[in-house]
Amino acid sequence: MQAKRIIQFLAALAEHNEREWFKAHKDEYLACRDDFEAGVQQLIGRIGAFDPSVAHVVAHDCVYRPQRDIRFSTDKSPYKRHISAYICERGRKSIRGGYYLHMQPGQCLVAIGTPWLPTNILTACRQDMMGRPDEWRKTVENRKFLKYFGRPGSGNWDFEKLDEKGFGMMRLKTAPKGFDRDSDLIEYLRMKDYLVWQRVSDSFFEGDAWLDHTEDLCRTAQPMVAFVNEVVADYD
């Protein structure tokens, strides 16, 4: 990808977040979006080799639109300050776990997993962990997973202050209802999401070299995604 060009456009958009400016620079936006989509399509090909559930996905359907939903926001700027994509079996609006790319000046990110689940599905995931503890630990406590993402974090989610790597955005202060607070799995039972991430530099996505490391991140987290998606599939 031409990461430098995309980041420069996003920086300019953040400074001139107005419809007239965007209209005047729409050709540049479309060029950046098409380049980003091409990179996403390359990544889909890589991921599909070890996660066939997303092999059929098309990049155009993964990339989020630039317009912001301002109906309930005090910030009325019309456009997002980032460009992003969610590669997921059931599409970017699905609650199933998937693979997320985020490009934004100073806030670039690769994330894998599911950022939010309804309480009933979250409870079912916790019950599944308790029923298959060894399998769960194998997915999230192997050497490579811990190297890339670490153990469950503090749960104090603030996108602009994210650690360089992490596992879990939010967690309960105590054990969820119906679960033993002294369980060996308590650090996982308290989690309210199953998302891992690595922050990357603005230049990370330049060219094609980023594909190798991103593929490795996705491959490492895929067993966790599959474990959770087995449960989510009964509801989605």
- Where exactly are the structural domains of the chain? 3-232
- From the list 152, 155, 130, 161, the residue with the least C-alpha distance to 227 is 130
Look at residue 90 in the predicted model and tell me its pLDDT: 85
Sequence-ordered strand ranges (E) for the chain: 83-87, 98-103, 109-114, 165-167, 194-199
Tokens representing 11 are: 């920086």
**How buried is residue 129: exposed, middle or buried, by Cβ count under 10 Å (0-12/13-18/19+)?**
buried
- Contact (CB, 8 A) for 179 and 126: yes
- Is the pTM higher than 0.75? yes
Taking only the tens of pLDDT, the chain with its 236 residues reads: 999 999 999 999 999 999 999 999 999 999 999 999 999 999 999 999 999 999 999 999 999 999 998 888 888 899 999 999 999 998 888 899 999 999 999 999 999 999 889 999 999 999 999 999 999 999 999 999 999 999 998 656 677 777 889 999 899 999 999 999 999 999 999 999 999 999 999 999 999 999 999 999 999 999 999 999 999 998 87
At 174 the pLDDT is: 92
Please state, in angstroms and rounded to a whole number, the distance separating the CA atoms of residues 75 and 153.
29
- pLDDT score for 157: 65
Q: Please report, to the nearest 10 degrees, the dihedral formed by the alpha carbons of residues 165, 176, 187, 88 taken in order.
A: -40
Residue 23 half-sphere exposure, CB side, CA atoms within 13 Å? 3
Pick from 97, 95, 93, 84: nearest CA to 53 = 97
How many other C-beta atoms lie within 10 A of the C-beta of residue 218? 23
CB atoms within 10 A of CB 162: 17
pLDDT on residue 73: 82
